[in-house]
Structure 1
């Protein structure tokens, strides 16, 4: 097994506490609302949202995938940090054992936030990941973050 790691950073005009609440704590509700073409629904299969929780994500009609299960590894509400792993589903295929995401939202000097994410791809055997595939994944994550930001800007009283 190999591990391939990539980092990304996205800025937002939304303060960290508000962005964390929407993008992480209420992701099950807000993501299907702001990106219905990508994510149809998110269901909690077991757990209470904290570490150990297993969720089923049902992708929308426009996605190349149908479903994925992810497991919450850590949830630090005070420091706006979250780690989860894709443990089952179409994106893993025969290439990956799991894919983990470490997310931390911090304050930016202008009152907004910076979302720093580290993605770790645990491969089955030695695999060379094409740069285009990684770039596409980063673009999808950025689009989701920006869609949540747009929703919060349009609905300032939410969260």
Structure 2
């Protein structure tokens, strides 16, 4: 299964970066309405087995996407989601994981996003650079919001 990765160093302590990342569904529609009209928890409590419904805005081509949480590990600071319905039709399967770990400097965090995907049968599908770009934009938006709002997801 092909994969791609993006790593970023964030100027945030690990625990705060993790808290922001795992709770991003609560604020992304407010911060990025052009991509996320709404993100609703359809099943579960946000942990493994939960299902989120993402109603995409114009930048997300107006699709409704259902994602299942496969893993949320608070001790290892890892999340994994799999698209189960409404994803990019170029791919028959798509999953992404995000891992947060201590960064190279005090109060920094390394965020690693990894996507695994399978092109749909009979379709030429390039690597999902647009989804990688969206992940980068989400990270940048959340990071900027955290910098401007020091109480957001503070300990």
Q: TM-score, normalised by structure 2?
A: 0.90
Structure 1 partner of 2:19: 21
Give the Å deviation of 1:127: 5.0
Where does residue 97 of structure 2 map in the other structure?
Answer: 102
Q: Which residue in 2 is equivalent to 1:4?
A: 2
> Is the 2:56–2:64 Cα contact (8 Å) retained in structure 1?
yes
Runs of 4+ in 1 over 4 A off after TM superposition: none
Report the equivalent of 2:42: 45
Bigger shift: residues 142-151 or 102-111 = 102-111
Secondary structure of 2:33's match? coil
C-alpha deviation, 1:90, in angstroms = 4.2
Residue 68 of structure 1 deviates from its aligned partner by 0.3
**Which residue number in structure 1 is paired with residue 110 of structure 2?**
114
Partner Cα distance (1:13, 1:57) in 2: 28
Task: Output one character per residue of 1:110-157: Cα deviation in whole Å (capped at 9) or x when no partner.
Answer: 2211111210002333654325xx322212110100100001000001
Match of 1:80 among 77, 91, 104: 77
* Cα distance between partner residues in 2 of 1:103 and 1:10: 11
- 1:47, 1:63 → 2: CA distance? 25
Q: Distance in 1 between matches of 2:87 and 2:103?
A: 35
- Measure how far apart 1:56 and its partner are: 0.2
Question: What is residue 142 of structure 2 aligned with on the other side?
Answer: 148
Residue matched to 2:31: 34
Offset from partner CA, 1:42-83 (integer Å, 9 cap, x none): 111111111000110011133324210000001101111011
Worse-matched range after superposition: 74-83 or 10-19: 10-19
**Alpha-carbon contact 2:53-2:67 (below 8 Å) kept:** yes
Report what 2:133 is aligned to: 139
Gaps of 5+ in 1: none
- Give the distance between the partners of 1:63 and 1:69, measured in 2 at CA: 13
Contact 2:65 2:86 in 1 (8 A): yes
